[in-house]
Amino acid sequence: MTRPENEKQAQEKPWRAVGLLLESARGERPQLLRGVLWLVLAAGLEALGPIIGKYFIDHYLLPRQLDLAAMGGLLLALLLSGWVASWIRYGQLARMAGIARRSVLRLRERVYAHVLNLPMAFFDQAITGQLVSRVTNDTEAVNQLYRQVLYVMLDSSIVVLGSMIAMAWLDWRLMLIVATLVPAMLLIIWLYQRFSGAAVARSRQLRSDINAQMAESVAGMAVLQAAGAASRFATRFAQTNNRQLKARMDELRANAWLLRPALDLLNVLLVVGLVWGFGQRQAGAGGVALAAVEVGLLYAFLGYIARVVEPLIQITLQFGQLQQAMVAAARVRSLLQEHESVLESDAQRRIERGHIRIASLSFGYDPARPVLHELNLDFPAGSFVGIVGHTGSGKSTLLSLLLRFYAAQRGSIEIDGHPLARIPDASFRERVGLVPQEPYLLAASARENIAMGRPIPEDQLIAAARAARVHDFIEALPQGYDTPLGEGGARVSTGQKQLIAMARALAGAPTVLFLDEATSNIDSATERVISEALEALRGRVTVVAIAHRLSTIRAADQIVVLNHGHLAELGTHETLMAHEGGIYQRLVQLQALDVDRQAEEP
């Protein structure tokens, strides 16, 4: 996903992300309903406080009727109602926190599983640091959203509603004065969202950029320092950091102007309005002094004002975090809307022999600019096929199509007579192996790097290591197959990484094995070892090797020579070398000159 698309999606209306939250919390509905019922009970107990106080003032304090038992009972009821309400709230806070954690756990697993199934075309444009930020930081921010929505805002809303009902029961006209606070608060929230929304979206996008720059710099630290680019990268990072700071400051300014100060002002205006309302009632009564029964009512309403204003203040104060969490949820939602690779497979179609047939194949990353043109190839089962050509000839693109990273736009690819797209994904991955140019090793043991989470028996794993000619090396490690290899295989050489990658591919007993320039970055000795391993597979496994070092595919049954996406030459090493002035012949001669030149250098 490109950055402009990221920014556009990050600035979508964040409330659309509520559907994402409801989906993730679907299994928590019984817990949520129980929590709501307990919070209603807590709000009811809390609403009793001002009513008890009003009764105490009206019937005992002002008439000076000192019934110690009754007064003590009222005070005890006031204390117990507040104490029980507090304990209920504590229990529901724990309940809602559990709901939030479990929901976010499911959401994070869903996002990660979704990312694993995205097509390679998505990763061609995605920035790793930003993607990691969405899977980790943004899903964690959604946890805050659950906590705010499910507890603070839900509890505060129930308290406000309960207080409004109690005030309406006491005096509906005065309740209407207090009720004006609700639309005023909604107006403040709307203004806050309008003024801070863009800043919050910009802040989270820039945080992803910071993560991306950090990941990029750490991954390429050797090149960065060797090129003397440390100061330039530091300057670029500082600029991004300052832009993120500016976005956060814009958000905080909106917070400072529109949240607590505005609500404090509204609280004062509300008390003035309530007192004015009482004054109007007395003016309508001919200016008679405030009756005793009105004193208790005034106390009750002042108590309810505190119970209405404080939850509303809590809602608005949490709205800053809520705004960030909603933007994060919108970013997660936009990632989940990326289309997965969906293939119309047939469970009956399986790879058994490894016969590959390519017919009239054309493809372009931009359909208007094809990379491959009308390729027609046939790789018999168990054969060894080499694919060569100049840089940009289409070798890697053809391999990507064979691996189903992209779908052919014209023409077809079949394995054992089955269209590539109709073979079930699990069956395809089980029967097809890949040895990449840059071997990817986990920060785990040699055993785990070969198995890659697959339930591979020990004897099959060791047999794969022997076939890749890496068993003796692994056995010589301090802990054998259980020796940790370090992050990215830091404890082994490049050649040894490649052999372990070969063992990983062979451990699944593939029918088809693809090699993507697997010998381009290794020494001649390791190349010979890999060549021996490939020779041992002849007749049992269909091997398709993209080769930069032509010596790797010298013994291939057929060599495919590509030139600007067209099939230029096809044949064995001997037949292609007999073609005077041919592309393959020139490539071999150029590599021979390079070898001679290197041998002459001191």
Taking only the tens place, the pLDDT of each residue in 332-367 is: 777 777 776 655 555 667 788 889 999 999 998 887
> Which residue from 261, 258, 260 is spatially nearest to 250, judged by alpha carbons?
258
Token pair for residue 51? 């009513």
Instruction: Give the residue-averaged pLDDT of 208-236.
Output: 74
CATH of domain 356-600: 3.40.50.300
Query: In this model, does residue 19 exceed pLDDT 80?
Result: no
- What is the rounded CA–CA span in Å between residue 240 and residue 600? 49
- What is the rounded CA–CA span in Å between residue 43 and residue 523? 75
Q: What is the dihedral of CA 194, 199, 200, 204, to 10 degrees?
A: 150
Which of the two residues, 152 and 602, has the higher pLDDT score?
Answer: 152
- Beta strands 558-563 and 566-571, pairing class: antiparallel
What residue spans in the chain does CATH classification 3.40.50.300 cover?
356-600
- What is the rounded CA–CA span in Å between residue 178 and residue 274? 7
Instruction: Give the residue-averaged pLDDT of 227-244.
Output: 82
Instruction: Give the residue-averaged pLDDT of 120-148.
Output: 71
- On the 0-12 / 13-18 / 19+ scale of CB atoms within 10 A, 229 is middle
- What is the rounded CA–CA span in Å between residue 235 and residue 224? 13
Looking at the structure, give the CATH architecture of the domain made up of residues 11-337: Up-down Bundle (1.20)
Residue 379: predicted pLDDT: 92
Residue the block writes with tokens 């794969």: 464
What residue spans in the chain does CATH classification 1.20.1560.10 cover?
11-337
Residue 2: predicted pLDDT: 43
DSSP alpha helix (H) spans, 337-470 = 395-402, 425-431, 446-451, 458-467
CB 556 within 8 A of CB 474: no
SS3 509: coil
Query: In this model, does residue 282 exceed pLDDT 60?
Result: no
| In the chain, % of residues over pLDDT 70 | 82
Kindly state the DSSP code that residue 209 receives in the 8-state scheme: H
Distances (CA, A) of 125 to 2, 99, 122, 327, 372: 6, 35, 6, 22, 21
Residue 376: predicted pLDDT: 92
| Sheet with 418-419: strands ordered across | 372-379, 356-363, 410-415, 418-419
Residue the block writes with tokens 């370090």: 486
SS3 469: coil
Measured in degrees and rounded to the nearest 5, phi and psi for residue 515 equal: -120, 125
Which of the two residues, 208 and 469, has the higher pLDDT score?
Answer: 469
Distances (CA, A) of 286 to 174, 208, 281, 283, 290: 19, 68, 9, 5, 11
- What is the rounded CA–CA span in Å between residue 54 and residue 171? 13
Render pLDDT for 23-56 as a digit per residue (tens, 0 to 9): 777 777 788 888 888 888 888 888 887 878 777 7
Token pair for residue 379? 């790789």
Q: Where does the pLDDT of residue 369 fall: very low under 50, low under 70, confident under 90, or very high at 90 and above?
A: confident
Query: In this model, does residue 240 exceed pLDDT 50?
Result: yes
Residue 208: predicted pLDDT: 76
